[in-house]
Amino acid sequence: MRDPVQPGPTEWGQGRHGVGPWKDEHPHSAIPTDPRLDPQLLSEGDRRNVVDAYRYWTRESIIADIDQRRHPLHIAIENFENDSNIGTVVRTANAFAVDTVHIVGRKRWNRRGAMVTDRYQHLQHHSDTAALLRWAEAQGLTVVAIDNIPGSVPLETVELPRHCLFLFGQEGPGVTEEAQLGSSMTCSIAQFGSTRSINAGVAAGIAMHSWIRQHADLSAAW
Ligand SMILES: C[S@@+](CC[C@H](N)C(=O)[O-])C[C@H]1O[C@@H](n2cnc3c(N)ncnc32)[C@H](O)[C@@H]1O
């Protein structure tokens, strides 16, 4: 049984996964000269939390590769009270090759939950919700607020726009009225227990996966 105090297999920086120096991993093959590869990682090993296909790749090359196949899905989260869920949102957005994560309000957010995935994810800051909504309109994105409030439609049955920006609220206040009014619709995630709401990071994961199920090319997944 796994030691419960040890980190899980995908947690970064523990030296429990990844590859060692190229010469140890491939003793019979010359060090490759592919410009996407990082000479330092080739010589010292690559223990980063990246999929095996990106072993030894420079950060810039990884970002450029994902950029070629990012989805037309954007995620925004209101951050007026410094929401600790943003790291989780960024990590999940990275996993689903979301175009950009937008932070609305306070610029600072707790990066811990992102597990370094923010290095590979485009992030954009907007001073307030009005600025985000103006930006989305200029980009031709349909804004969909996500919250379980009166008037919301079930995420489980709705047809989601392809060029889409999901807008999430924060713990406590939920999605602001300004965000609701500026969105084409508000979608709720069906609940069946006693709690009024689920964690915003979890809600973001569910919503992103709903979009993936409707619009992504699953044959392109790892
Ligand atoms: C903890 S909730 C906010 C509080 C909630 N409105 C309440 O009345 O308790 C934080 C955010 O998570 C998302 N969220 C949580 N539960 C949800 C649900 N069942 N459906 C849709 N979004 C949800 C929304 O974006 C919401 O603004």
Q: Using DSSP, state whether 170 is helix, strand or coil.
A: strand
Looking at residue 9, what is its pLDDT? 41
What is the reported pLDDT for 12? 47
Give the predicted TM-score (pTM) of the model. Answer: 0.91
Question: Atom of ligand 1 at shortest distance to CA of 190?
Answer: 19
In our burial notation (b when 16+ CB lie closer than 10 A, e otherwise), range 6-31 reads eeeeeebeeeebbbeebeeeeeeeee
Contact 144, 116 (CB under 8 A): no
> Which residue's CA is minimally distant from atom 19 of ligand 1?
189
pLDDT tens digits, the chain, 222 residues: what are they? 444 445 444 444 444 579 999 999 999 999 999 999 999 999 999 999 899 999 999 999 999 999 999 999 999 999 877 678 899 999 999 999 999 999 999 998 988 889 999 999 999 999 999 999 999 999 999 999 999 999 999 999 999 999 999 999 988 889 999 999 999 999 999 999 999 999 999 999 999 999 999 999 999 999
Query: What distance in angstroms lies between residue 135's CA and the mean position of ligand 1's atoms?
Result: 24
Which atom of ligand 1 is the closest one to the Cα of 78?
Answer: 27
pLDDT value of residue 170: 87
What is the three-class DSSP state of 165?
A: strand
Among all chains, which residue has been given the structure tokens 């920006």?
A: 165
Which residues line ligand 1 at a C-beta cut-off of 6 Å? 146-148, 168-171, 174-175, 188-189, 191, 196-198, 200, 203
Give yes or no for a contact between 204 and 88, defined as CB atoms under 8 angstroms apart: yes
**Burial classification of residue 133, based on how many CB atoms lie within 10 Å of its CB (0-12 exposed, 13-18 middle, 19 or more buried):** buried
Using the mean position of ligand 1's atoms as its centre, give its distance from the Cα of residue 174 in Å: 6
Is 3.40.1280.10 the CATH classification of the domain at 69-217? yes
Mutate to test the pocket of ligand 1, among 160, 183, 197, 206 (most ligand atoms within 8 A of CB): 197
In this structure, the residue with its CA closest to atom 3 of ligand 1 is: 174
**Domain coordinates of the chain in residue numbers?**
18-65, 69-217
